[in-house]
A and B are shown apart, each in its own frame.
Chain A
Amino acid sequence: MLRRLSTSPSVSISQRESQSPLPTRVWRAKWLYLALLIPVAMLLIFEWLPAFSALYNSLYIWNGGKVHFYVGLEHYERMLSDRTFRVAITNLISFVFFRVIMQTALPFFAAEMIVNLRSARWSYWWKIIFVFPMVVPTILNYLIWRFIYNPQVGLLNEGLELIGLEQYTHAWIGDPNTVMWALAFVRFPWLPTLQFLIILGGLQTIPQEVHESAAIDGAGFWRRLFYIDIPMTKRQITLAMILTMLFMTQRFDLFLVMTDGGPGYSSMVPALQLYQSAFHFLEFGYASAIGVVLFVAMLALTVINLRVSAIGANA
């Protein structure tokens, strides 16, 4: 609303100025360019340059130093036949699929219940309580879950023994069959802070009158959920899903800390393979090619997700 009131101070000036030639206008704005010099230079050097370097070097064999020669699309062909990469992609798809559902549904239901509380004081405290795990450094989440899955003295196995289910104790992240499930449940009951707050913000903006008139029409909790709350927070839900997808595709610290892709390469993901190619095997060209594939995939997924939710919103 405020934005409508504001007109830039230089609107009238710029209309007058647009008649003067370009070099004059550029010269007049010299202080503005100077003010932007530092950020523009930083982005050019530390963001744009590496991004283009990755595109370019994905066509080269490169050890990060002197060894540097053109191989065309060979890295991309190699990816097609690379068994590790195939496992990594399969892992990533199922992992992202699972995490997107979990990281959206869990915060949604928590937020839904918190917003529904009549006691404002309690709903404030529940927000604080569920945002609290944020103070634990991210790496500690992984280290704590590594302890939970520890085969000898892990919380999960000790818990199973405590309730008399010894036969189900397991080397959760040491077994190729269970490792991806174990990793999918890392941080499980803890809500993802950002997604939780985004969805909470969406639910809080639904006007009270909408809920009241729905109640008068006899809508119960579930009807209200499916016909009011979910449709009216569609934008926030979409945003939370996209964010989870982007985070999960490019962040591999979870895998690096918990298993380093093992046992074997059963918990490999593309981003971790990129890291290992570059920093263990000095294959910077191959690493760049994996990065390019991930970049294209993320771009495509975001566009598809936005399209689908736009269609859904119009219908």
Chain B
Amino acid sequence: MTKRKSLRLGNRDLPFQMVLLAFGIVTFFPLVLVVITSFKSNTQFYHNFWLPELPLHLGNYSSAFRIIWRFIVNSVLYSGSTICLIAVIASVAGYVFARFHFPFKTALFLGFITLIMVPGVLTLAPRFVLVRDLGMVNTPYALISVWVSGGLVLSTWLMRSYFESLPQELFDAAYVDGAAEWQVFIYVSVPLARPMIATVAMTTLISSWNDLIWPLVTITDKDKMPLAMGLMQFSSDFETDWGTLFAGYVISSIPLLCVFAVAMRQFISGLTSGSIKA
């Protein structure tokens, strides 16, 4: 009975499934080809473009890793500190904006959200001059400070609307139990806001991890480059060594793949339900 039912439902899904399957194949095809090629020598690649071929050249991976690992470590450090700073600062600021009334609150908050309309490309050149005059060129501070301030705009807004949506009774209960304001914040509000903090962390990670232009402008030393910029360097250094080049591409996709494996469900539900609609 159940079997027949699922069969019938499956048939109704069939046309959609076929289209989705075709779409999925086209989506993954370039990625699969990159992975296949990453195991080939140049001779194998020119000789046989499409199919995998023995012997596998694992040496491609070790020579690519020797260069890529430093960029990955740099990016983890830069993006990691950016995420921590944004999570702390945006939670505090969002909490203050959500839970208190004080003079100039609206003006201050407008000072945050109007920046959503100011594009990064407008501020690129003057911001470079500013950062150069502050002596931060070619240091991680140039990246982290600008990523944090850029990310704060949206993050504070998201945190504020999340804290506003928490029911008053929760806070009342904590106040009745004699909690001070900072205790309410740390022991009640932050744990409840964990899903939103995760969303903020994820969006910050993706935007800082993928930023190419700002590092390109401010970082010059090869051993300080974050991944996106390092890959650009790497791709011109190994332009015609296809196996090593593609092995490097595969290696550099692994960090986000790990994050994705752990936090994907959270990320999808965070973006599809709620936060964006408001």
Q: Which residues of A contact B (CB under 8 A)?
A: 2-3, 5-11, 13-14, 22, 25-26, 28-29, 32-33, 35-36, 38-40, 42-43, 45-51, 53-54, 57, 64, 110, 113-114, 116-119, 122, 126-140, 143-144, 147-148, 153, 155, 158, 162, 189-191, 194, 197-198, 200-202, 204-205, 235-236, 239, 246, 249-253, 256-257, 271, 274-275, 278-279, 284, 287-288, 291-292, 294-295, 298-299, 302
Contacts and interface: CB of A to CB of B under 8 A. Distances in A.
B253 A137 contact: yes
A46 B99 CA distance: 27
Contacts of A271: 121
B123 A50 contact: yes
Contact of A295 (B92, B102, B122, B227): B122
A198 B271 contact: yes
Interface in B155-182: 156, 164-169, 171-172, 175
Contacts of A134: 206, 256, 260
A3 B126 CA distance: 41
B27 A138 contact: no
Interface secondary structure of A, over-half rule: helix
A39 B231 contact: no
Contacts of B271: 194, 197-198, 201
A123 to B, nearest CB: 9
B145 to A, nearest CB: 6
Interface string B256-271: 1101100010011001
A117 B108 contact: no
A57 B126 contact: yes
Interface of B: 9-10, 12-13, 16-17, 19-20, 23-24, 26-28, 30-31, 33-34, 45-46, 49-50, 89-90, 92-93, 96, 98-104, 108, 111-112, 115, 117-130, 132, 145-146, 148-150, 152-153, 156, 164-169, 171-172, 175, 206, 209-210, 212-213, 217, 227-228, 231-232, 235, 242, 249, 252-253, 256-257, 259-260, 264, 267-268, 271-273, 276-277
Contacts of B126: 49-51, 53-54, 57, 284, 288
Interface secondary structure of B, over-half rule: helix
Contacts of B267: 131
Contacts of B108: 36, 40
Given A2-B167, A10-B99, A138-B228, A113 B149 contact: no
Contacts of B119: 246, 249-250, 291, 294-295, 298
Contact of A139 (B20, B120, B217, B228): B228
B173 to A, nearest CB: 12
Given A43-B115, A128-B264, A51 B213 contact: no
10 contacts: A43-B111, A46-B130, A46-B145, A51-B123, A110-B23, A119-B10, A136-B253, A191-B27, A205-B277, A275-B124
